[in-house]
Structure 1
Amino acid sequence: MHFDSMSAFLAMGGYAGYVWSAFGITALALIALVIGYHRTHKKRLEAVKKQMAREKRIKDAQALENTL
C-alpha cells in the first residue's frame, strides 16, 4: 500500500483502530513475556545457589563428622 502522507499512514485506510491496537497488544504481550522470563530466571538462579550452599554445608558437616 502506498500512502500520500504520514497522517494517511497512521489512519491505515480507516482501519487504524484495529491495526494499531493489534500492534499494541502484541507489544504488551511480548514485554510481559520478557519480564516474566527474567523474574523466573532470577528466582531459579537464587534457588540453585541456595541448593548448592545447602549441599556444601551438608558435605562440610559430614567431613567434620568423619574427623571426630
Structure 2
Amino acid sequence: MESFRTFLQMGGYAAYVWPAYGIAAAVLAGLAIASYRGMRQAERQAERERPARPRRGGEERP
C-alpha cells in the first residue's frame, strides 16, 4: 500500500501531474464528443441532400 501511495504522490509533483492528466483527459473527451456531433451533423446533411430513389419497376404507382 505504501508503494501505491508513493506512486500517487509522484515524487512530490502530484499537484502538477494529476491536474495535467485531468486536463488532458477532459480535452480528449471534448474532442471525441465534438467529432461525434460533427459526424452526425454531416450524416444528416448528406441524407437531406441525397436525391430520393425511384421505386423499383419503373413508373410510380398511385
Same fold (TM over 0.5): yes
- How far off is 1:56 after superposition? 3.4
Q: What is the SS of the residue equivalent to 1:56?
A: coil
Q: Report % sequence identity.
A: 38
- For residues 22-66 of structure 1, the C-alpha deviation after alignment (integer angstroms, 9 at most, x for no partner) is 1110011000000000000000100000011xx438xxxxxxxxx
Q: Superposed, which structure 2 residues align to 1:9-48 within 5 Å?
A: 9-48=7-46
**Structure 2, unpaired ranges of 5+:** 54-62
**Structure 1, unpaired ranges of 5+:** 58-68
- Structure with the largest fraction of helix: 1
TM-score by length of 2: 0.77
How far apart are the structure 2 equivalents of 1:43 and 1:51?
12
TM-score by length of 1: 0.70
Which is higher, the Rg of structure 1 or of structure 2?
Answer: 1
- The CA RMSD over aligned residues, in Å, is 1.8
